[in-house]
Amino acid sequence: MARGDYEIGINFQKNKWSTRESVTFDVNVSVGHQPSNQSFEVENSVARQVGKELQFPINGFWAPLSQLGHRPGFPWTVTPGGPNDEQADDVLTAIRTHFLPRVDLELTRPLEVPTPAKDRANPASQHEINEAAWQWHKDALERSGVSDLERIDQDPGTD
């Protein structure tokens, strides 16, 4: 479905362990602002050419319907020949109650704009990424009371 520049999606996804006797499924729901996504793609293309960081928009939304506060972790199950009216009503209620309000929120959220490629930082080296990850984990563990941490990886500091 489209609403202005937004694409709104409802996609039924069958569980891979479904059988002929019963089909278990969830419903993936999404909202995306295509012009924003395209502007990020254009700037990322330029960034790749000049060796700068890539950016990815936060614009948009995707989630399984069962995890939007409605029966978390429990997808629906239907059987051939039914009765499946209860499941159909439940899915429609979940869409009305949990997804449609999210659509309204996404349509009113300020849109993120990509940083021009020329103004972006150079990408971090693998060494810098490893150092930042080590520091983050070390700090988190120390806040939890773990001390005397010893780093056991053999990062020679090269890319």
Within this chain, do residues 99 and 25 fall inside the same structural domain, yes or no?
Answer: yes
Within this chain, do residues 63 and 104 fall inside the same structural domain, yes or no?
Answer: yes
Within this chain, do residues 101 and 129 fall inside the same structural domain, yes or no?
Answer: no
Q: What is the pLDDT of residues 49-83, one digit of tens each?
A: 998 989 888 778 999 998 887 665 668 999 999 89
Q: How many C-beta atoms surround the C-beta of residue 99 within 10 A?
A: 21
The count of structural domains within the chain is 2
Within this chain, do residues 59 and 131 fall inside the same structural domain, yes or no?
Answer: no
Within this chain, do residues 13 and 76 fall inside the same structural domain, yes or no?
Answer: yes
pLDDT at 101: 94
Within this chain, do residues 100 and 115 fall inside the same structural domain, yes or no?
Answer: yes
Within this chain, do residues 117 and 128 fall inside the same structural domain, yes or no?
Answer: no
Within this chain, do residues 100 and 36 fall inside the same structural domain, yes or no?
Answer: yes
Within this chain, do residues 91 and 152 fall inside the same structural domain, yes or no?
Answer: no
Domain range spanning residue 133? 124-159
Q: What is the pLDDT of residues 131-149, one digit of tens each?
A: 888 888 888 888 878 877 7
Q: Is the pLDDT of residue 14 over 90?
A: yes
pLDDT at 73: 60
Average the pLDDT over each of 64-68, 91-95, 126-130, 131-135 and give the range with the smallest value.
126-130
Within this chain, do residues 48 and 116 fall inside the same structural domain, yes or no?
Answer: yes
Dihedral over Cα of 50, 56, 155, 133: its sign = positive
pLDDT at 146: 81
pLDDT at 159: 46
Within this chain, do residues 43 and 103 fall inside the same structural domain, yes or no?
Answer: yes
